[in-house]
Amino acid sequence: MIKIGMMIGDRYEILEKIGTGGMSDVYKAKCHKLNRFVAVKVLKQEFSENENFVSKFRIEAQAAAGLMHPNIVNVYDVGEENGIYYIVMELVEGITLKKYIEKKARLSYKEAVSIAIQVSMGIEAAHNNHIIHRDIKPQNIIISKDGKVKVTDFGIAKAATSNTITSNVMGSVHYTSPEQARGGYSDEKSDIYSLGITMFEMLTGRVPFNGETTVAIAIKHIQEEMPSPKEFVPEIPASVESIVLKCCQKSPDRRYQNVPELLADLKQSLMNPDEDFVVRNDPDTEGNTRMVSDREMTQIKRRTYYQEAQEEEEESMRLRTDAEPAYEEEEIGDYGDEEYAEDYDEGYNPRMERVTTLLAVVAGVVICVIVIILAVRIFANVESGVDDELPNPIITDGSVSGTGEAQYKKMPKVQGKNVEEARNALAELGIKSEVNYVESDTVEVGVVISASAIEGQDVAVGATVTITASAGPKGVEVPQVVGKPFEEAKRMMEEQGLEVTREEAHSDTVEKDLVAAQVPEQGSKVPKGTNVTLTVSLGKEQSKVYVPNLVNKTEMDGTVEATEAGLQVSVIAHEFNAEYGEGYIFYQSYSQGSYVDPGTVIEIKVSKGAEAKTYKCNVNITAPTPEEAPDYVSGTPVQLKLVTDDGNVLLDTTASSFPQPANYYGLSAAGGTLTMSYTVTIQGPPTTDENGNQVAGATTTEPRSFNRRVEFTEE
C-alpha cells in the first residue's frame, strides 16, 4: 500500500497524491538520484493480482518507454516492488485539453490548429516508433503551464507490424474510429480519426456523435454522416473544416494516410485558412454510409457492455488546481476478463430485442398520432381568433422576413425552465440568447417567465432571443460600473452579492483597464449570485502586428508562432553558426517588439550548427631548454610524443639531434601536447675497496619528462 513519505525503488519519495483513475493512482514524487520531481503512476492494490490489469499496465509502460519527444509525456522508469507495480513519468504542470475546452467553451480555429499541430507531432513520433496510441482524446492531452501540448496515457497502445492490428480493445467511444467500433483492425489512420474528433470538439465545444448509451454512439460512428463543424460555428475557415472532415472519413482509405500529410495541411491552414487546398481522396465503396449488420451489432453491444462495466468502476480525474499536474484516466478501453463476454452472451436474446424494437415502433406511431391531434386543435384555436398574434413570424438577426437563405430552427419551450437550461437548449440549436431579470412574487428565482420568440416560431440560426427571467420578489439592482477600474467595479458587484466574469476587448473610446461594458446593464434587477460579465478595455486596437521573438526557436516553432501572429515567414539562408544549434533560427529581419503591417514577410536565417574547421601542424621541435630540463645533456636520446587535444597521436619517436620537423594536415583539434622523455645518469658517492683504495661510486639512471604546448594553425 502506498503511503505518503514512503520510498519506492530506493529512489522515489512519495510526496502527495495528485490524481486517481479506475485502475491506478498518480502521485507526485521526488527522485533522489537525479534530484527532480516526477509523477509515479501506481496500479491499485485490488488490481495488482489480476493478470489482465497487470498486463495492461505493463503494455502502457512498454509502449511509452521508448518514446522521447517534447509532445509526449515521457516515461522514465518502470518497476515492481513488494507487489506494487509503478510507472515513473515526466511531471507536467498544467490541465487536460478536456478541462481547457470546458473552461473556454470552444477554442478559436488558430488555437485549435496550433494544439492539433503539437498533438500531431507527438503522434507522429509514436508512429515512427511503430506505436499506435488507439485512445486519442482531450482527456489524454495535457497543456502545460508554458503552453506545451503533450500526449499521455498509452494504456491501450499497441506495437504496429507490417499488417494492421486486430484487437478487442476500443478507445473512448466518443472518439473511436468506425473500424475500432466494429472490432476490426486499427492502424495509424485510426489515431488520425480520433484526432479529427478531438479537433471537432476544440472548434465547437461538443463531440459530433452523442447518445444515451455507448452502443448508440458507436453505431453513429459507423453509419451516420459526420456533421460539419461549420454547422455549429459558421466562422470556421473552409480549410480547417475540410481537414476535420478528411480526418473523420468512415473509410480509412479516404483519410490522411499518415500524420506528415495532416501536419502539412494544418500548417498551411494557419497561413491560408480560406483556401481550398485539402486534397480529397477518390470515394470508394467502403467510404459510403452503410447499415450495421446483425453480427456487427452483436460485436458492438458486447464491446460497449465491457466498456460500461469498466467505466462504472472508474472515477473521474480530480485536479486540485488548474496549475497542478494533470493526469487523467477516463474511459479506459480495457474491458476485463472473458467472463464478461460469457455473461453477456448468456443474457443477450436477439428475439427479445426484435420484440422490443417492434414495441418501440408502435409507441412511436401512437406518439405521432397524439402530436397530430394536438396540432390540429392548436391550429383550430388560431383560426377561431383565440390567438391574436401574427401567425408564426420568423426571427432573424435583426429583421422580420418570410423566407431567406438562412438556416432556421423551431423555438423550443423555455418558459418554466431555469435560465441555464433555457440558454443551453437555445445554444444547441445555434441560437444566441440574452437574459433580462424582473422582480416577481409568483415565479421562482432564476426561472424563465417569457421569451421574445414564442414556442414553435422559426428563428434564424445565429439570431438573438431575449429571455425574461424572475429575479424573485426582491431582486438585486445591478450597479453602474462602466468607466470604472475593474477592481473597483468587481468590488461593487460583489458587495451586491453578484459574481463577476472578466472579458477583454479593444475600445476606441474607453481607456485601457477601465470597464467598457457590462451585462446585465445598470439598474437591472437580478437574483443574488447572478454572474455579471464586465468587459475591460484593452485600449485602442493596434493596426499593426506585434513581431514575436523567433531567434533560438526551431524553424517549425518559429514559423507557427509568426503565422499565429498574422505574419509570413521566408527562410533566406541556412548557414553555419556556432552559437545556435542545427535547425534553430539565429536571425530575423524584424526585431522582437516592433510593429509591422499584417501579412508582412519576416525573413529568417536557420543555423546549420558549427562549421567543421581543420588545422595544420608545421613546427620544428627544438631540444629541451635548461628551464624545461636543467639536467639534460646534449646528445641524450629524447622520446617525443605529440598528442592532439582530441586524443590523436601524431608523433611517437626518439631523437638525439634537434630540431626535429613535425608536419601534419587535416587536423580536427586546434592544438596538442608534446611530451619529451629522457634519462639522466647519476654518479653515486665514492667507496673504499678491500685494499683500502678509494673507487668511484656506482652509477644509476633516472627517467625525466616534461610537457610542451603546441598550437596548430587553421587551414
The answer to whether 221 touches 178, Cβ cutoff 8 Å, is: yes
Q: Partners of 518 in the beta sheet?
A: 534
The answer to whether 466 touches 451, Cβ cutoff 8 Å, is: yes
The answer to whether 368 touches 90, Cβ cutoff 8 Å, is: no
Q: Is the dihedral of CA 105, 139, 46, 51 positive or negative?
A: positive
What are the C-alpha distances in Å from 624 to residues 573, 628, 630, 632? Answer: 51, 6, 9, 7
- Phi and psi dihedrals of 692, rounded to 5? 85, 10
Q: Which of 10, 25, 135, 345 is catalytic?
A: 135
Instruction: Residue count of the chain, please give it.
Output: 715
Instruction: Give catalytic status of residue 77 as yes or no.
Output: no
Alpha-carbon distance of 676 to 656, in angstroms, equals 12
Q: Which grid coordinates belong to 646? A: 582530441
**One-letter amino acid identity for 137?**
K
654-659 contact pairs (CB < 8 A, 24+): 655/621, 658/621, 658/622, 658/623, 659/620, 659/621, 659/622, 659/623
Strands (E), 431-530: 432-438, 448-451, 458-460, 464-470, 476-477, 499-505, 515-519, 525-526
Q: Is the dihedral of CA 304, 306, 309, 315 positive or negative?
A: negative
Q: Please state, as a whole number, how many other Cβ atoms lie within 10 Å of the Cβ of residue 374.
A: 10
The answer to whether 504 touches 535, Cβ cutoff 8 Å, is: yes
- How is residue 557 annotated by DSSP? H
**One-letter amino acid identity for 43?**
L
Give me the residue label for grid cell 654518479: 683
Alpha-carbon distance of 344 to 303, in angstroms, equals 10
Alpha-carbon distance of 523 to 311, in angstroms, equals 49
Alpha-carbon distance of 515 to 488, in angstroms, equals 10
- How is residue 208 annotated by DSSP? S
**One-letter amino acid identity for 497?**
G
Q: Is the dihedral of CA 580, 582, 584, 585 positive or negative?
A: positive
Order of all β-strands in the sheet with 149-151: 94-96, 141-144, 149-151
Alpha-carbon distance of 345 to 342, in angstroms, equals 5
DSSP-derived 3-state class of residue 43: strand
Exposed / middle / buried, residue 414 (Cβ in 10 Å: 0-12, 13-18, 19+) = buried
The answer to whether 333 touches 169, Cβ cutoff 8 Å, is: yes
Q: Partners of 537 in the beta sheet?
A: 505
Residues noted as catalytic: 135
